[in-house]
Structure 1
């Protein structure tokens, strides 16, 4: 009994000591980030913890090394692309029969340009808003992701922290650039942009090049109090987000104006996470032949193996037969 009482006294003392210094029970450090990004900490200090190395060869890089494009990794029944559109757009309306998943329209306050962009899902309009990997997958591959497991790379490619809905043209200009080669034209967002890249690289143990670190440090010198962002998007927190289904009159109008191919796709989109979508009915115009294009993919499997998916309208290799829902994005 005496030994039991002594042990109880010791444990009580340790618990009291941990409370005095502000440590939660079972944690080594009170301010240790739980998501691995370093969120809330000084971006400059977290940058200094990143390893500095030269860029590794791009040899072996394919988009498929990071899993299926826009996979439903959180198993919520909605692909990653639409998850991010849902998060970053306001005044969202959904395509009916998709269980509030497929975003039909909305407004984006683009962090890269500072402009407001009206998004409308469609063959010639969807590319106005694209989903950017803040740390490009090719850049990640050359700075440590080669050593990650396939599961971890898939997590990186679909991690909401590493994804932002942005203006399509800005996304294309960025390509796979890092902070040393590309920055948003919206200068007021550059500090948060660099800090978010730092958070991603910290979480996935990716390194930075000497030039990249120098560029990040220069950006952060203008905002010394900048912290690594938390796990949310960058949408205006004061903006009211409305998520409404089209009213009955709007549905009737769309039923009369939408293309037959789009109508046939609706049941597929409703259950797209349960079974693969069937191939679309070929359009009346003849399909382009390989010799007529500088880049040609026989199907989406070939495009993914080449690391080209998703393919936006206007990019090499895009053709309508690969764009199942005719929204301007093939092999999603």
Structure 2
């Protein structure tokens, strides 16, 4: 298993957000595809995630609360958040596009003075290459919550303060730009039911999923914990 070779090294290099008095930091940059899974840095991040996973409490199954509302996590992509990048003059969606796309062009829009209006992108979930244009099929690239908000709600976020939920929804450590089709297919599914079709990204996905769950003190369902543990051991 290898990571995708066409991604910029700055991807995931700095990810941070203040959450429940904790700081999410980068678990590693996406590395070129010719670096094998024996890469010491990759193995180190995976081992840290495995250690964190062992301390996460697990439920036999994901509970089905049925009362999730997206509005409980605040306005979509608000800039008014304590997460990294908050109050910088750009909404969260544009922050993630600026981080994940390459060869970008910028222009001012109502939500961001230097919004990404064009760029190139390879979806980590599928490997699909997309040429992005804000004025043409802007929805072809969507921003996914690695730990879905509905899942986070079921696993403990229902009891959080509104501020904590807004932070999670806009924390760059829990966000990734992806192709629209895979984002829709994933929906709010947990790792036991969905993992990226691109096997080369599953290690990074698992590291990020565990990092977010651990830092935000969320619960995990036991089947997903098993899948994540297997994925991390194969990094």
The structure richer in strand per residue is 2
Q: How does 1:110-149 map to 2 (within 5 A)?
A: 110-122=123-135, 125-149=137-161
Unaligned runs of 5+ in 2: 1-21, 28-44
Secondary structure of 2:114's match?
Answer: coil
Larger RCO, structures 1/2 (Cα 8 Å, 6+ apart) = 2
Which of 52, 57, 75 is the matching residue for 1:51?
A: 57
Q: Does 1:188 align with 2:188?
A: no
Give 1:117 shift. Answer: 1.3
CA contact (8 A) 2:109 2:115 kept: no
Instruction: State how 1:139-288 maps to structure 2 within 5 Å.
Output: 139-223=151-235
Per-residue displacement from partner, 1:225-248 (whole Å, max 9, x unpaired)? xxxxxxxxxxxxxxxxxxxxxxxx
Q: Residue 284 of structure 1 aligns with which residue?
A: none
- What is the root-mean-square deviation in Å for CA atoms of aligned residues? 1.8
Secondary structure of the residue that 1:102 maps to in structure 2? strand
Distance 1:37 1:199 in 2: 9
Bigger radius of gyration among the two: 1
Count matched residues.
189
Q: How does 1:296-311 map to 2 (within 5 A)?
A: none
Q: Quote how far apart the aligned CAs of 1:116 are.
A: 2.2
In structure 2, relative to structure 1, the CA distance for the partners of 1:84 and 1:208 (3 Å cut) is: same
Deviations 1:286-315 (A, max 9, x none): xxxxxxxxxxxxxxxxxxxxxxxxxxxxxx
Corresponding residue to 1:102 among 93, 110, 115: 115
Match of 1:69 among 61, 73, 76: 76
Distance 1:35 1:192 in 2: 19
**TM-score, normalisation: structure 2:** 0.75
Task: Specify the SS of the correspondent of 1:176.
Answer: coil
Q: Which runs of 5+ in 1 are unaligned?
A: 1-33, 224-332
Is 2:191–2:224's contact at 8 Å kept on the other side of the alignment? yes
Could you tell me whether the CA contact under 8 Å between 2:24 and 2:173 is conserved in 1? no
Distance in 2, Cα, partners of 1:161 & 1:221: 21
**SS at the partner of 2:23?**
coil
The answer for the alignment partner of 2:4 in structure 1 is none
CA shift, 1:100, in A, is 4.2
Q: Matched residues in 1 for 2:140 and 2:26: separation?
A: 32
Alignment partners' CA distance in 2, 1:97 and 1:131: 18
Change (3 A) 1:206 1:82: same
Could you tell me how far apart the structure 2 residues matched to 1:97 and 1:63 are? 25
1:106/1:214 CA distance change after superposition, 3 Å: same
Q: Distance in 2 between matches of 1:167 and 1:108?
A: 9
